[in-house]
Structure 1
Amino acid sequence: MPMKGGATNEYREIDRWDRGVGWIAYPEETMERASHALVGEDGGVWVVDPVDAPDLDELLAEFGDVSGVVVGLDRHKRDAAALATRHDAPVYVPQWMSGVVEEIDAPIERFDRELSDSGFEAFPILDTSVPPWQEVGLYHRADKTLVVPEAVGTASYFCAPGERLGVHPMLRPAPPRRALRGFDVDRVLVGHGEGVLTDAARALRDALDNARRNLPGAYGRAIRELLS
């Protein structure tokens, strides 16, 4: 399978519940880039880290009008500008995130601790130069939904054998425990792979607690998949 993209970008739907949905635009790719549309308290749809796909607008329309498109990781500009332009909506970028807005050809809105009127709290997961990494998490307290764009994922190269959710390979030696602990969650939505919609709190806790212990298994699995 290709790392990114593929012969077709007919999306595969993931993570549907009454206030949101996700999709993987190129189901055959190894990276399993996942995108999400979340219904905010304002009644609008907030699209996070989108990879565009044919007929995607029909899926979004099931949930409402797009209020904004969010860049959750400095490397996840993806198709944010194209989707925002098509829906006449701004691209939302954290106030502290650098090197992103210059590369997005669409109106920009900055946000800090809250994502506009969406009801989602925003918090930095990582803001470091070594490794170069700027990532924002989103949390809806009433809905118990946590969005983690990159630090954890369910794509196979994130996970050691037996893990439902794994810490990104680059972060396993020093997982962002402080940033991601303490959330009461029913679901964890990620930027690579399907989300965790059952027993999500335990899956997140286990991923953070066992990141270093399971490092050899995770790295071995990732290497085997890259070589296969």
Structure 2
Amino acid sequence: MTGPEESTRDRLLEAAETLFSDRGFESVGIREIAETAGVNLSGIKYHFGSKHGLYLETIRRAMDRQGSTEVWALLDVPAGTRERAGEMFRGFVEAFLRVLLRSDEAGSSVCLVMQSALESGEATDVVVREFVEPHHARLCRFVGQLRPDATRAERSRAAQSVMALLLHQRLFRPFLDRLDRDVRGGGQSASPGEAEIVGLAGEIADFALRGMGCEDLVGRAGAGADGTDQGVRR
């Protein structure tokens, strides 16, 4: 049974997620959050320490709900060989796309992060420090397994390009659905099917690998980052 303290905390997080997603960090005050949640203003300090603490926990909670934490953990497994790294990269791209396009929760975390980017203020610094930089570092290290000879700058640019390719599929999904109407036979797909996600993941992975100079790894369909056989899944 949910206790009163947990209930207060959850209500604050729900209110904060709605308000921060709609208007960003700077435009929302803690008093408004407390009033929307129906709790005392002191509850924010008690549960989160500050507005920044509440903001970080709001993003973390949204990411945990969508399952992206597990997806990022796929990059922490040593590949051993470049060929295996290529297979794991394809698995990561597929898993990430599945979260972005099939999870109802993905929109919340993306909106929260993008709002902070649009503000380009203190909230952006917090998001970059707590979320963007750690994930970027993970991807850079993995790129190093694909391209051991790549410089630090090349790894960073490659990691940025991969994330741009993936997030584009979520942020511009309404536009992409309309552009693909002819291909889809006139309708819009609210939630891409498994075959579509696997196919799209393969295209994005191969495009990214070519951009990294890993042409020899393009088109390989072996075990993905999660250990499943992608050839069978196709």
> Do both share a fold (TM > 0.5)?
no
| Bigger radius of gyration | 2
Structure having the larger proportion of residues in helix: 2
Structure having the larger proportion of residues in strand: 1
- Band the TM-score falls in, shorter-chain normalisation: under 0.3
TM-score normalised by structure 2 residue count: 0.23
- The structure whose RCO (Cα within 8 Å, separation 6+) is larger is 2
TM-score normalised by structure 1 residue count: 0.24
